[in-house]
Amino acid sequence: MSHANAALTPKARLKLARLVCEDDWPIARAAEHFHVSWPTVKRWATRYRDRAALGPVTQADMGDRTSRPHRSPTRTSLAMIKKVVHLRWKKRLSPRAIAGILGMPASTVHAVLTRCRVNRLSHIDIRTGDVIRRYERDAPGDLIHVDVKKLGNIPDGGGWRFVGRRQGDANRAATPGKTKNKHHNPKMGTAFVHTVIDDHSRLAYAEIHDDEKAATAIAVLRRAVSWFATRGVTVQQVLSDNGSAYRSHAWREACAELTIAHKRTRPYRPQTNGKVERFHRTMNGEWAFARHYRSEQERRRALAGWLHTYNHHRLHSAIGYAAPITRLINVPGQYS
């Protein structure tokens, strides 16, 4: 295989072959001149003569050829490949399970799954069995995803996840300002995290409110659009689920006023809004339940710092292990 410092690159091979075939250089002399063995010279000269019979010879004709055999009699048949892929898609079976059913080596099944790009179950939709189709808009602002994440408020002293059930219940009972549910148990209420994600850059914006009404969602959208604008991003389209706030006339009018096209996901298909759903999973693990917060106010104060880390420092695997802010251009102070 040729490389940058190879004695015979495709260009040198062509020159060598022309000296032998057209200028009648002896093979031994050409081998000495190019510091290669005579069988090497003979091989490229033969290649040149065979190709010259069909037309002009170029550097591409003198390139390395694949060592793959013309026939592979023991290769897995197409019919068997279809059976392997079918069991993977429809039954979500492991390579060992498929091998047991079809009487094949597990290593062969894994090789087939890898070749067909279904070796990971995360590539297959769990409901339909179809290969997941991934997309990404071409530029920041072409599409933003909006959604609301509901989190139970933390009682003073900490929630049950960190202090245990007994102490958690005691903290709930001792927290002032609470209400009671129909069973007369303390009710801490819900924190509604309104999140906005840019499809191309994965840049995130979030606010915490006490409801998910249309007026609140609209106010968040306006502030998010302004926040993105200060970073050189003009929002063109917004994608939401079919929540009541996003189906309201007020939301539609607000989008029209902001000159933003509104698009809703297909009912019962949260995968369509998968980028914001995945962000919620990350947010849960790295902010909402990442450590012991002694009050709801303490957790809410920590959101801004975590968002800065997420946007400016945390590496995102879906965009080539880069921070979301690096996908924007002309951000004030970006190159200072």
Query: What's 233's domain CATH number?
Result: 3.30.420.10
Same-domain status, 39 and 96? no
- The residue among 244 and 131 whose pLDDT is bigger is 244
Query: Within a domain: residue 161?
Result: no
Report CA dihedral (174, 175, 181, 183) to the nearest 10 degrees.
-10
Residue 119's contacts (CB-CB under 8 Å, 6 or more residues apart) are: 110, 113
Same-domain status, 282 and 222? yes
- The amino acid that residue 264 corresponds to is R
Provide the residue range defining the domain that includes 248: 144-153+189-327
- Do residues 101 and 87 lie in contact, with contact meaning Cβ atoms separated by under 8 Å? yes
What pLDDT is recorded for position 193? Answer: 96
Q: Which residues pair with 208 in a beta bridge?
A: 193
- The residue among 230 and 335 whose pLDDT is bigger is 230
Percent of the chain whose pLDDT exceeds 70: 89
Q: Which of 161-165, 198-202, 274-278 has the highest mean pLDDT?
A: 198-202
- Do residues 186 and 180 lie in contact, with contact meaning Cβ atoms separated by under 8 Å? yes
Position 271 pLDDT exceeds 80: no
- Give me the mean pLDDT over the 52-64 stretch: 87
- Do residues 168 and 188 lie in contact, with contact meaning Cβ atoms separated by under 8 Å? no
User: Tell me: the pLDDT tens digits for 174-194?
Assistant: 777 666 655 555 567 889 999
Structural tokens at position 276: 């914001």
pLDDT confidence band for 67 (50 / 70 / 90): confident
User: Tell me: the pLDDT tens digits for 94-150?
Assistant: 899 999 999 999 999 999 999 988 887 766 655 555 555 567 888 999 999 999 999
Position 204 pLDDT exceeds 90: yes
Position 4 pLDDT exceeds 60: no
Rounded-to-integer distance, Cα 275 and Cα 261, Å: 19
Residue 274's contacts (CB-CB under 8 Å, 6 or more residues apart) are: none
Same-domain status, 109 and 148? no
- Give me the mean pLDDT over the 199-215 stretch: 94
Structural tokens at position 87: 């069991």
Same-domain status, 218 and 313? yes
Rounded-to-integer distance, Cα 290 and Cα 294, Å: 13
Same-domain status, 246 and 319? yes
Same-domain status, 90 and 50? no
Rounded-to-integer distance, Cα 124 and Cα 122, Å: 5
Query: Within a domain: residue 18?
Result: yes
Q: Final residue of a domain: which of 38, 62, 86?
A: 62
Residue 196 host element (H or E): strand 190-198
Same-domain status, 225 and 307? yes
Q: Which residues pair with 193 in a beta bridge?
A: 149, 208
Q: Final residue of a domain: which of 62, 89, 104?
A: 62
pLDDT confidence band for 330 (50 / 70 / 90): low
Query: Within a domain: residue 5?
Result: no
Query: Within a domain: residue 314?
Result: yes
Query: Within a domain: residue 168?
Result: no
Query: Within a domain: residue 219?
Result: yes
Query: Within a domain: residue 68?
Result: no
What pLDDT is recorded for position 334? Answer: 55
Same-domain status, 117 and 260? no
Indicate the average pLDDT of the chain.
86
Tell me the CATH number at 50: 1.10.10
Helix axes 10-21, 38-52, angle to 10 degrees: 80
Same-domain status, 242 and 313? yes
Same-domain status, 102 and 229? no
- The residue among 158 and 27 whose pLDDT is bigger is 27
Position 252 pLDDT exceeds 60: yes
Query: Within a domain: residue 106?
Result: yes
Same-domain status, 113 and 231? no
Count the domains in the chain: 3
What pLDDT is recorded for position 240? Answer: 93
Same-domain status, 109 and 211? no
Residue 166 host element (H or E): helix 165-174
